[in-house]
Amino acid sequence: MHTLLSRFRQTPLLTVEVLAASLLISLFNLALPIFVIQLLNRYVSHGFEGTLYTLTFGVLLAIFLQYGFRIIRTALLARMNEEPEKLFAENVLHALAVSRFGAVVALPRELFGEVMNDIRKVQAGWEPANLIPLIDIPFVLLYLAALALLSPLLALIALIGTGLGLAAGAWSLTASNRLANRLTEMFTAYRARESKALGSLETLRAFNGADYLAAFRREKQDLLAGLRQRFACKREQGAARLSTLGSLQSVCIYSVGAVLVVQGELNVGILIGANILASRAFQSVAQLFRSVHLFREGERSRQTLEKLAALPSEKREGIALRSYSGRLRLADVAFGYVGGSGPLFESLSLTLEPGRILVVTGGNGTGKTTLARLLVGLLDCGRGEILADEVNLRQLAMPWWRHQLLYLPQEPDFLLTTIRENICLAGPVDEARLNQAVRAAGLRGFLDRTADGLETLLSDPARIPPGIRKRIALARALVTDGPLVIFDEPTEALDPEGCALVYNLLNQFAQSGKTMVICGNDPYISKAAHLHLDLNHKPVPRLSLTNDHA
């Protein structure tokens, strides 16, 4: 509710218009009970046709005016919330896109799978149809006040009934929310495991994993089915409880009202009109809790998204050197992942002069990819500093720094867009440079075999052969002509022709004076190294000059 009030304060004029429209709608809602009272008390008693026509015209006018103001109110609420919700979604997605890589990879992957679903839940909570019952609830007092003018005793019954309806609805909502939270947590965990299994069909078939998946599904589905059944029962019990209270309220009003009619303190027209008013008040309460449920669900999703959006952002502003020579220096660098048994490496110091080649070797998990990510600025050192031309990476503007690099990750990721847009992700690239990068990466043959060439849509990058994925990533690296090359396992997944292509590229880089950091255990690449860093040696990696460059 705090968010709703805040939204109202941000748009005071629209808020006044919405509340004015709501007041008019509630006033026009009084037309029907007034019509009934007057019809029974005046027309039925006296039979004058003019009274019937006047009353009918008046109530029809009120009904049509009410319809018009409902449309106006819906449009006003849509205007009030359209821009904030649009900006909220854009800000969340942008914040995630520029969050620090280290902060993002530390989070459970299923959180990111739910981002779009959470955005939709937030939007659903702010839809006009869901906000209207929340806005209308204060006008319940208007119906009760009108009822008090007709009969204070019947108004007291309606007030008690409405209060009991509020209490019953709140109780049901609390119980349903507890079950809904358990169901959501279980379903999220279950879906993450099953989605991963279904995405590993080769493994399931090759290692006869279908029985495991079936047993897992049966176990979790039974638990989920039980929770769903309890959740459905709770919601139905809540609805039935409210319906029963509404019916009991009507019975009480008619019973007490009948006594008052017999005693001459009330007439039949007022009795029926009073019940309509009491029903309107109770109906507003009954509709409230469905809206509260959706609104609270949306607010929970908003809080989750705000936590993700609050992740520390990567430094977008900072120093941009006039020119970068390619010189790198690592001073007492240490790094370890949270929860790890110890640092991957520590006390790492070296100087890589422009045009020199550093080859980083080590077994799986020794930190080759981590070191590459540190140099790219995706991760921050736990201790020490990395300097480019004696300027700390932390002081540099990251967008500028990335334009100084030719970066090839070990396992490249792609966006679900065209090959052209994936290659030109960093910004516009002229056709000549794009075609040069495509040829240099050995990608032209593949593109010529596809119907759409560079416009081929990567709707499922996992289905692209690993060697082609590596070539696309290589072309993406080559469109940036920076002085520093950082390649992580550049020949992995490539055939002999692809490996020869990489060796040729590295020779060209060396001839053009680029500084290179190559992570991997390829013996042909190791022969060209000026410096060799062995990450198998723990905790301080072993740095040595190669024999050819000693």
Question: Looking at the structure, do residues 541 and 452 belong to the same domain, yes or no?
Answer: yes
Mean pLDDT (the chain, rounded): 86
- Give the tens place of pLDDT for each residue, 150-188: 999 999 999 999 999 889 888 887 877 777 777 777 776
Question: Looking at the structure, do residues 343 and 281 belong to the same domain, yes or no?
Answer: no
Helix-helix angle 152-198:268-309, to 10 degrees = 30
Q: Residue 336: inside a domain, yes or no?
A: yes
pLDDT given for residue 205 in this prediction: 65
Average pLDDT of the residues in 262-287: 90
Question: Looking at the structure, do residues 252 and 336 belong to the same domain, yes or no?
Answer: no
- Residues 104 and 275: their CA atoms lie apart, in Å, by 58
Comparing CA positions, the residue from 86, 162, 546, 173 lying closest to residue 360 is 546
pLDDT at 281 over 80: yes
pLDDT given for residue 153 in this prediction: 94
Under DSSP, is residue 529 helix (H, G, I), strand (E, B) or coil? Answer: coil
Question: Looking at the structure, do residues 276 and 400 belong to the same domain, yes or no?
Answer: no
Question: Looking at the structure, do residues 289 and 392 belong to the same domain, yes or no?
Answer: no
- Residues 229 and 90: their CA atoms lie apart, in Å, by 37
pLDDT given for residue 113 in this prediction: 66
Strand partners, 532: 359, 544
- Residues 60 and 31: their CA atoms lie apart, in Å, by 9
The residues near 35 (Cβ < 8 Å, ≥ 6 apart) are 55, 56, 58, 59
Question: Which H helix or E strand runs over 125?
Answer: helix 115-125
Q: Residue 509: inside a domain, yes or no?
A: yes
Domain boundary among 275, 309, 343: 309
Strands (E), 379-498: 383-388, 391-392, 405-408, 484-488
Domain boundary among 309, 336, 369: 309
Neighbours of 263 (CB within 10 A): 8
pLDDT at 425 over 60: yes
- Residues 261 and 267: their CA atoms lie apart, in Å, by 5
Q: Residue 199: inside a domain, yes or no?
A: no
pLDDT given for residue 179 in this prediction: 75
- Residues 263 and 355: their CA atoms lie apart, in Å, by 107
pLDDT given for residue 375 in this prediction: 95
Q: Are 242 and 173 in contact (CB under 8 A)?
A: no
Comparing CA positions, the residue from 71, 93, 70, 73 lying closest to residue 81 is 73
Lowest mean pLDDT among 42-46, 411-415, 520-524: 42-46
| Beta-carbon-side half-sphere exposure of residue 25 (alpha carbons within 13 Å) | 23
Question: Looking at the structure, do residues 509 and 364 belong to the same domain, yes or no?
Answer: yes
Question: Looking at the structure, do residues 278 and 336 belong to the same domain, yes or no?
Answer: no
Q: Residue 79: inside a domain, yes or no?
A: yes
Please report which confidence band the pLDDT of residue 84 belongs to, taking 50, 70 and 90 as the band edges.
confident
Q: Residue 195: inside a domain, yes or no?
A: no
Q: What percentage of the chain has pLDDT greater than the value 70?
A: 93
Average pLDDT of the residues in 350-368: 94
- Give the tens place of pLDDT for each residue, 455-473: 998 888 878 888 999 999 9
Which has the higher per-residue pLDDT, 200 or 440?
440
Average pLDDT of the residues in 371-379: 93
Question: Looking at the structure, do residues 297 and 342 belong to the same domain, yes or no?
Answer: no
pLDDT at 2 over 50: yes
Question: Looking at the structure, do residues 304 and 334 belong to the same domain, yes or no?
Answer: no
Question: Looking at the structure, do residues 68 and 99 belong to the same domain, yes or no?
Answer: yes
pLDDT given for residue 490 in this prediction: 95
Q: Are 42 and 7 in contact (CB under 8 A)?
A: no
CATH number of the domain within which 255 lies? 1.20.1560.10
Q: What percentage of the chain has pLDDT greater than the value 90?
A: 47
Comparing CA positions, the residue from 164, 140, 169, 297 lying closest to residue 240 is 169
- Residues 173 and 162: their CA atoms lie apart, in Å, by 16
Question: Looking at the structure, do residues 273 and 402 belong to the same domain, yes or no?
Answer: no
- Give the tens place of pLDDT for each residue, 376-417: 999 888 899 999 999 999 999 988 999 999 999 998 889 889
pLDDT at 550 over 50: no
CATH number of the domain within which 460 lies? 3.40.50.300
What is the secondary structure of 298-335 as a DSSP string? HHHHHHHHHHHHTSPBP--SSB--S-----EEEEEEEE
- Residues 385 and 353: their CA atoms lie apart, in Å, by 17
- Give the tens place of pLDDT for each residue, 289-332: 878 878 888 888 888 888 878 888 777 788 889 999 999 999 99
Task: List strands edge to edge, sheet with 405-408.
Answer: 405-408, 484-488, 515-519, 357-361, 531-534, 542-545
What domain count does the chain have? 2
- Residues 203 and 197: their CA atoms lie apart, in Å, by 8
Which has the higher per-residue pLDDT, 107 or 8?
8
Question: Looking at the structure, do residues 475 and 373 belong to the same domain, yes or no?
Answer: yes
Average pLDDT of the residues in 362-376: 93
pLDDT at 256 over 50: yes
Lowest mean pLDDT among 113-122, 182-191, 374-383: 182-191
Comparing CA positions, the residue from 39, 254, 33 lying closest to residue 161 is 254
Q: Are 143 and 273 in contact (CB under 8 A)?
A: no
Alpha carbon distances (Å) from 352 to 329, 357, 402, 490, 524: 6, 8, 18, 20, 20
Average pLDDT of the residues in 98-104: 79
The residues near 95 (Cβ < 8 Å, ≥ 6 apart) are 308, 309, 310, 311, 313
Comparing CA positions, the residue from 406, 386, 370, 401 lying closest to residue 519 is 370
Q: Which two tokens stand for residue 9?
A: 């304060």
pLDDT given for residue 192 in this prediction: 65
Please report which confidence band the pLDDT of residue 368 belongs to, taking 50, 70 and 90 as the band edges.
very high
Strand partners, 487: 408, 518
Residue 445 belongs to what domain range? 328-549
Average pLDDT of the residues in 61-77: 93
Please report which confidence band the pLDDT of residue 89 belongs to, taking 50, 70 and 90 as the band edges.
confident
Residue 541 carries which DSSP code? P
Average pLDDT of the residues in 50-79: 91
Q: Residue 234: inside a domain, yes or no?
A: no
pTM: 0.71
Q: Which two tokens stand for residue 338?
A: 């949270």
Q: Residue 406: inside a domain, yes or no?
A: yes
Q: Residue 318: inside a domain, yes or no?
A: no
Q: Are 282 and 245 in contact (CB under 8 A)?
A: yes
